[in-house]
């Protein structure tokens, strides 16, 4: 489980496609200080397993389902990615409950400067996920816990503060880019419970 508070920006140093999946290697340092082989690391919000480790990078295998459901298959050497280690049981929960199980991808519509280092991000949400998104609720976008500021049809908007803009991959977003989204797990459980009542 994760919180959506990005700890480090990593960079793709290698991407090796296979017959059905792929292997990705990410250059980073801070999140590897206490990592062990088999550790879970969220890459753009997708929980991956470290299968190779060194002090400056780690590699993870991407299953066909991961490639189908996330933006990880669109990455190439040099791509910037959000990284987070799993939540410890004795840690503060600064963001929201993020499982690292990406529900789908959304397209960046725009990223506009508001002034004083603040930005307005708009993404186009797939129809099957929009029912889980509520104003002032949380949404994990490429693993970053964001608060929904506005909803207009299939467009969901967020105010991005200067810290988030500088310390996440959001600063590199371009219109049309795919972002990973994970909706609130509580909303999905509630929907299933209510549908059986």
What's the pLDDT tens digit per position in 41-73? Answer: 999 999 999 999 999 999 999 999 999 999 999
104-195 under CATH 3.40.50.2020, yes or no: no
Task: Tell me which H or E stretch contains 129.
Answer: helix 127-130
The count of other CB atoms within 10 Å of the CB of residue 187 is 14
Mean pLDDT score across all residues of the chain = 94
pLDDT at res. 16: 96
Token readout for 74 is: 């669109």
Q: What is the mean pLDDT of residues 149-166?
A: 97
Predicted structure pTM score: 0.94
Catalytic (active site) residue 14: no
Measure the CA–CA gap between 197 and 191, rounded to whole angstroms.
Answer: 10
Q: What is the CATH number of domain 8-84?
A: 2.40.30.20
Question: In the chain, where does the domain assigned CATH 2.40.30.20 lie?
Answer: 8-84, 104-195
Residue 60, pLDDT score: 98
31-45, 46-60, 84-98, 166-180, range with the lowest pLDDT? 84-98
Average pLDDT over residues 119-139: 96
The closest of 59, 58, 68 to 20, measured between CA atoms, is 68
Q: How far apart are CA 131 and CA 122, in angstroms?
A: 17
Query: pLDDT confidence of 197, banded at 50, 70, 90?
Result: low
Spatial CA neighbour of 135 closest among 158, 112, 163, 119? 158
> Choosing from 14, 29, 49, 172, which is the catalytic residue?
49
CA–CA separation, 177 and 58 (whole Å): 25
- Reading the block at residue 77, the tokens are 């050497």
Active site residue 63: yes
The verdict on whether 164 is a catalytic residue reads no
* 109: Cβ contacts below 8 Å, ≥ 6 apart: 122, 123, 124, 155, 175
Q: How many CA atoms within 13 Å lie on the side-chain side of 86?
A: 16
Active-site entry in 40, 110, 130, 159: 40
Any catalytic annotation for residue 167? no
Q: Which of 14, 30, 101, 150 is catalytic?
A: 101
147 flagged as catalytic = yes
- Residue 120: its pLDDT value, please? 98
Could you give the CA distance from residue 11 to residue 76 in angstroms, rounded to a whole number?
Answer: 9
Give the pLDDT score at 91: 76
Q: From the candidates 29, 54, 135, 147, which is the catalytic residue?
A: 147
- Reply yes or no on whether the pLDDT at 113 is more than 70: yes
Note the Cα 168 to chain centre separation in Å. Answer: 10
What's the pLDDT score for residue 96?
A: 86
Region class of 33: left (phi > 0), else alpha (psi between -120 and 50), else beta: alpha
Res 48: pLDDT: 98
49 included as an active-site residue? yes
pLDDT at 92 over 90: no
Q: What is the mean pLDDT of residues 35-41?
A: 96
Q: Does residue 125 carry a pLDDT above 70? A: yes
- Active-site hit among 14, 30, 63, 150: 63
When pLDDT is averaged across residues 1-20 and rounded to a whole number, the result is 95
């Amino acid at each position: 489980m994760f919180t959506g508070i990005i700890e480090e920006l990593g960079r793709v140093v290698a991407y090796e496609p296979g017959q059905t999946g792929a292997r990705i290697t990410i250059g980073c340092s801070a999140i590897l200080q206490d990592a062990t082989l088999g550790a879970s690391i969220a890459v753009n919000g997708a929980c991956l397993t470290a299968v190779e480790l060194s002090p400056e990078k780690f590699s993870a295998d991407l299953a066909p389902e991961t490639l189908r459901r996330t933006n990880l298959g669109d990455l190439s050497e040099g791509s910037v990615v959000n990284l987070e280690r799993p939540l410890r049981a004795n840690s503060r929960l600064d963001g929201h409950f993020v499982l690292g199980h990406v529900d789908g991808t959304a397209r960046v519509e725009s990223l506009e400067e508001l002034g004083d280092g603040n930005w307005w991000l708009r993404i186009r949400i797939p129809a099957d996920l929009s029912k889980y998104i509520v104003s002032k609720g949380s949404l994990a976008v490429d693993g970053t816990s964001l608060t929904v500021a506005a909803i207009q049809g299939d467009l969901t908007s967020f105010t991005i503060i200067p810290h988030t803009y500088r310390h996440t991959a959001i600063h590199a977003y371009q219109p049309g880019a795919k972002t990973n989204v994970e909706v609130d797990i509580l909303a999905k459980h509630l929907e299933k419970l209510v549908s059986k009542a």
